[in-house]
Amino acid sequence: QVQLQESGPGLVKPSGTLSLTCAVSGGSISDNVWWSWVRQPPGKGLEWIGEIYHSGSTAYNPSLKSRVTISVDKSKNQFSLNLTSVTAADTAVYSCARDVRDRGIAPWGQGTLVTVSS
């Protein structure tokens, strides 16, 4: 079955760029699905960041759109998140997931905590 694993720095300085990668195994990044990023600040709820299709088409949360870029690397079967100009408010567990649209978002990666601090 499809599995997803996030990787990237756990600490980012304020005003810097948060960069994460999600490796997909057990399935192809070129499947007819969308690949999503979701975050969850400590003790708070889920916030959708955005998603990408293997063609490169993207959809972003309007509240984050100016700072977010999601890209796909088909040769490595992975997709990535870049979030610029980060502040402490961007501290969260960042998770990647597969969005099968009408069949929901599943599975999810385990998530990785990214802390924004100097």
Partner 1 sequence: SYELTQPPSVSVSPGQTARITCSGDTLPKQYAYWYQQKPGQAPLLVIYKDSERPSGIPERFSGSSSGTIVTLTISGVQAEDEADYYCQSVDSSDTYHVLFGGGTRLTVL
| 107 contacts partner 1 (rule: CB under 8 A) | yes
Sheet (strand 68-73) strand order? 3-7, 18-25, 78-83, 68-73
Among 10, 42, 45, 89, binds partner 1 (CB under 8 A): 45
Q: Closest Cα partner for 23 from 5, 37, 11, 36? A: 5
The span of 11-19, 23-31, 67-75, 105-113 binding partner 1 (CB under 8 A) equals 105-113
Among 14, 25, 26, 46, binds partner 1 (CB under 8 A): 46
Centre a 10 Å sphere on the Cβ of residue 75 and count the other Cβ atoms it contains. Answer: 7
| 62 contacts partner 1 (rule: CB under 8 A) | yes
Query: Residue 29: exposed, middle, or buried by beta-carbon count in 10 A (0-12, 13-18, 19+)?
Result: buried
| 113 contacts partner 1 (rule: CB under 8 A) | no
Q: How far is the CB of 79 from partner 1 (least distance, A)?
A: 16
Q: Is-contact 108 96, C-beta < 8 A?
A: yes
Positions in the binding site for partner 1 (CB under 8 A): 36, 38, 45-48, 50-51, 59-62, 95, 99, 102-111
